[in-house]
Structure 1
Amino acid sequence: MSYAASAYAKTSRSVMTPREAESAVLIKAAQRLQMLRDDWANRTGDLGPALNFNQKVWTILASAVVEEGNPLPADVKQGFTRLAAFVFRHMIETLAEPAPEKLDALISINNHVAAGLAGR
């Protein structure tokens, strides 16, 4: 196999689908929140940046779901929109009254949605 063909084959295996990319970014957000949760006493200053990253991820996902032409069924779109609203509300509540246990719901939701996107 030529060098170019070999490089293409390697690259084509490493490129993520949009669903895989969405799953990966949700996992990254969950990991940031989990690290904060695990070392709350020493990392409370990371709360704002971690929640800001999570908010950006969810804004992108929610925007994609309601985009015209999105092929998802209406009930799935509605359910995801409600879930996103819960996530946004919960992040605001966590910023208003910080507590490590408040991160559990966000971590769990991110991991479960990521698993669904990855087909697990």
Structure 2
Amino acid sequence: MAAVSPRELEANLLMKAAARLQLIKDEWEESSLAEKDDALVYNRKLWTILVTSATSAESELPQDIKNNIATLGVFVFKQTMSIITTDDVNKIGVLININRAIAEGLRSQPADAE
């Protein structure tokens, strides 16, 4: 079994969260509040871990990247709360697109850039 790099793991988790959100978006009217909440909470927890890890003092990321991730994380948290409070399915697409874009970026970086 081959080891998965941290970047690949992060990309996989972001894609998993995006897939869960996409399923909820596609089946919004049929989904229960608990199902919607589960997908949104999973994504929020994932982003909490990503932001905490990326912005920690131990992170070797450049400060501008740390700032960008923190800003993006705040946006994701606000968007999530907005979806919960307004029950607006249209706002989920933004979270899906962010997760997919970040995952693609993680996967497109050369391995020696880690």
TM-score, structure 1 as length reference: 0.86
Q: Does 1:50 align with 2:39?
A: yes
Unmatched tracts of structure 2, length 5 or more:
110-114
* Deviation for aligned residue 1:106: 0.3
1:65 pairs with one of 44, 54, 67: 54
Give 2:88's aligned amino acid.
A
CA RMSD of aligned residues (A): 1.1
Q: Which residue identity does 1:91 align to in structure 2?
A: T
Q: Percent identity?
A: 34
- Say whether 1:17 aligns with 2:29: no
CA deviations over 1:43-101 (Å, ceiling 9, x no partner): 14211111000011000000101111211111111011000000001000110001211
Task: Give the CA deviation at 1:41.
Answer: 1.1
Bigger Rg, which one:
1
CA distance in 1 between partners of 2:48 and 2:83 (Å) = 17
1:30-41 matches, within 5 Å, as 30-41=18-29
Report the TM-score, using the length of structure 2 for normalisation.
Answer: 0.90
Residue type at the aligned position of 1:28: K
Q: Which runs of 4+ in 1 moved over 2 A?
A: none
Q: 5+ unaligned residues in a row in structure 1: which ranges?
A: 1-10
Q: Distance in 1 between matches of 2:89 and 2:14?
A: 19
Q: Name whichever structure is richer in helix by fraction.
A: 1
Equivalent position amino acid for 1:98 in 2: D
| 1:115 matched residue in structure 2 | 104
How many residues are paired up?
108
Question: Partners in 2 of 1:77 and 1:41 — Cα distance?
Answer: 37
In structure 2, distance between residues paired with 1:66 and 1:77 = 5
Post-superposition CA distance 1:14-37 (Å, at most 9, x none): x21011000000000000000011
**What SS does the aligned partner of 1:108 have?**
helix
Question: 2:112 corresponds to which residue?
Answer: none
